[in-house]
Every structure is written in C-alpha cells, then in structure tokens.
Amino acid sequence: MDTSVRSGYLRGFRKILLYGSCLNEDLLRGFGDYAKLSCCLEEEHANMIGFKLAGILARGDYDEIAVLTVDGSLHCVQLHHLVEEVCRIVRNPPKRRHMVVVDGEMRDIPEDAVKISRYLSKVSKLYKCENPQ
C-alpha cells in the first residue's frame, strides 16, 4: 500500500476497498465508487498496513471501508482483523464490509463472524454446537 494518506486519489472517494493483491482484477469491476488499495500480507507486515490505514481514516472522511480477500488464506485473513482493530481506535469509524472470494464468487461475511474468528475458543464452542460428538 504505497498510497500517501493524503493523496488526491483518496480524496476523490467516500469509500475504500482494501483487497488482496493476488485477486483477479475482474472481481474489482463492481467497486467503481471505491478507492482501491491492494496489499499483500506476505510482503508487508499487518502493523504497517494498519498504521497506514489509521492515518488514512484519521485524515479523511469515509463512509465505508470494504475488505476483499481470498477465503482460507492464512495471510489475507489478517486484513479483515486489522480493519476491525483500526476501526476500534479511530474516531468515527466508517461502516465495514467484509468479503471473501470462494470458487471465483464474492461472498459477504458478517462483521461479527470476523470478530469471532479471532478467538479460537469461541470458534471451537460454536463448532461443537453444530457438530456434537
């Protein structure tokens, strides 16, 4: 994410899309009204992206931040978590939208699912409710 936090590009949008750089560009066509920022958490540390995002949100006025990644990626899942974490620390956080790509299709993921997935003990408890032994 090499975009300046005060770039003219960002100022032209009210919404931001953070997406995994490994995604097919065709998937981004429906996001014409979003500032598109790609990142790869295999190459950049989550703290660097989170700090940059906090700077962007602190200096701009955005209605929404969306995250689009590959489902099941060990690295990409961090992007969903860091957006939630950054939004906890900035004033007036924007609405969040989480999406993953499964078999070439985008699927919306509820914000609560992202929050719960951070806690393996809660995931385990939910899993046991669905799959009693």
Per-residue tens of pLDDT for the chain, all 133 residues: 677 787 888 888 999 999 999 998 899 999 999 999 999 999 999 999 999 999 999 999 999 999 999 999 999 999 999 999 999 999 889 999 999 999 999 999 999 999 999 999 988 988 887 777 6
Phi and psi for 14 in degrees, rounded to 5? -105, -5
CB within 8 A of 56, min separation 6: which ones?
Answer: 5, 10, 16, 62
CB within 8 A of 90, min separation 6: which ones?
Answer: 54, 57, 58
Q: What is the pTM of this model?
A: 0.90
